[in-house]
Structure 1
Amino acid sequence: MSEHDTLGTVRSLVDQEHQLRQKRLAGEIDSQEERAQLQSLEEALDQCWDLLRQRRAKSEFGGNPEDAAARPVKTVEGYLQ
């Protein structure tokens, strides 16, 4: 996935997050469903940001950014902040 494609995915996920919050405010979904869906969206966003960081690091240090690959959610979510 190119950097452009990854950024497009980020935009789409952020839009989905906003739609989800609107549904909650409108009473279309309950807070438990909102939390579950938000967790999934946040995990996907974390994977995208990780992929972008990998691509940029590879470019900066002479590697091929196309060699970057999305890592599993468990890996990305396990990073220390």
Structure 2
Amino acid sequence: MEDGQILHHIKKLTETEEQLWTKAELNEQEVDQLHRMKLELDQCWDLLRHRRALRDSGQNPDKAQPRDIDSIENDVK
């Protein structure tokens, strides 16, 4: 996935997220959807950072692969 594709996906996710947050009340399914979207956004940003780091170090950014969410969350802590 190219950087532009990742950024486009991030944009779509954040637009959907914003639409949900504008609702007066969220049902359980929408709360679950928001949680899943947050995790997916974390993965997208992580992949984008990894691609940029590879590019900056003269390596092929296409070698970057999405990491599982547990790995990403453990790096943040």
Q: TM-score with structure 1 length normalisation?
A: 0.83
- 1:34 shift after superposition: 3.6
Structure 2 residue aligned with 1:67: 63
Q: Could you say what secondary structure the match of 2:75 adopts? A: coil
Q: Could you say what secondary structure the match of 1:63 adopts? A: coil
RMSD of aligned alpha carbons: 1.5
Cα shift readout 1:15-69 (whole Å, capped 9, x = no counterpart):
11011113x31x4x33x44432221111000000000100000000010001111
Matches within 5 A, 1:44-59: 44-59=40-55
Deviates more, 1:3-12 or 1:68-77: 68-77
Matches within 5 A, 1:22-33: 22=22, 24-25=23-24, 27=25, 29-30=26-27, 32-33=28-29
For this pair of structures, how many residues does the alignment match? 77
* Contact 1:21–1:34 (CA under 8 A) maintained in structure 2: no
Percent of aligned pairs with the same residue? 35
- Any unmatched runs of 5+ in structure 1? none
Structure 1 residue aligned with 2:10: 10
